[in-house]
Structure 1
Amino acid sequence: MRILVVDDMDSMRHVIIHMLKGIGYDQVEEAVNGQQALNLLMSRQYDLLITDYHMPKLDGLRLLEHIRQHEPIAKLPVLLVTCEDKRSELESFIQAGVSGIMFKPFTANTLIKQINWILESMPDKQQANAG
């Protein structure tokens, strides 16, 4: 499974990547903002996007909206990572078609549960393929 991790904070990206690799996902790439992520998504195929909400250039919500409006990647599962707890903000993500939401701080166990839930919720019932 190829995963793209997007966060403008180096430390947070590295924590998520380290967790993913620790649970068996070794095809992990990273982007520092939503615009860089969008460029990567247009040029490579990914099975899952894990993105922060608050980022420069293109935030997580705008990134999600671009993804859902662009047919080749419109069905890409998107896991939002945020410390945001405003109901209105979270409802915007739900309306835009987010696949899952994970609140900071989180554990590797939470990450595993979110990924499994997203994969099990996909129409083709894809199983998580580590590696």
Structure 2
Amino acid sequence: MSLTKQTIKILIVDDQTTSRLLMRDALQQIGFANIPFAKDGEEALKMMMSSPAHIVVSDYNMPKLNGLQLLQAIRTYPATRITPFILLTGSGDREVLQRAVKLGVNNYLPKPVQPAALQKAIQAVTGNLA
């Protein structure tokens, strides 16, 4: 089965409800339909272990597991090792971004996320989807 915007599953991970809803709305405007969310990295990791998403879009600054810890955990499991991971960060902290790159992040975006930037980041990791 080839992936389309209707079948691809994008997991949103953010501890702020408003941010999760804004991201979901932006993804729906782009045409995606399967958009579960997790309120923190720990919940996201459990979700990825039981029913992996095709793409993870995660905030950096969260309780329990932050975005980098989640990325590192996802990269250690064979079933999720190559899952595209887009990191969202409110800080322009170069050290965070350098650590993310070392851990294998696929893309990153500054918060607040603009729908057009999100679409470009997803296209960068998936190519053009129908």
| Shared fold (TM-score, shorter chain, > 0.5) | yes
| 2:21 equivalent among 14, 24, 39 | 14
Distance 1:7 1:96 in 2: 19
Report whether the alignment pairs 1:80 with 2:81.
no
Percent identical residues:
32
Shift of 1:87: 1.1
Distance 1:128 1:95 in 2: 28
Report whether the alignment pairs 1:63 with 2:70.
yes
Q: Give the residue type in structure 2 aligned to 1:86.
A: D
Report whether the alignment pairs 1:90 with 2:92.
no
Distance 1:67 1:128 in 2: 24
Structure 1 residue aligned with 2:5:
none
Shift of 1:110: 0.6
Runs of 4+ in 1 over 6 A off after TM superposition: none
Say what the alpha-carbon RMSD is for the aligned residues: 1.0
Aligned positions, number:
123
Report which stretch shifted further, 101-110 or 60-69. Answer: 101-110
Shift of 1:128: 2.6
Structure 1 residue aligned with 2:125:
118
Deviations 1:77-120 (CA, angstroms, capped at 9, x unpaired): 00001112111111000000000001012311111111001113
Q: Give the residue type in structure 2 aligned to 1:26.
A: A
Per the normalisation by structure 1, the TM-score is: 0.90
Structure 1 residue aligned with 2:114:
107
Structure 1 residue aligned with 2:56:
49
Structure 2 residue aligned with 1:29:
36
Deviations 1:18-41 (CA, angstroms, capped at 9, x unpaired): 100111101000000000000000
Per the normalisation by structure 2, the TM-score is: 0.91
Distance 2:20 2:113 in 1: 13
Q: Give the residue type in structure 2 aligned to 1:75.
A: I
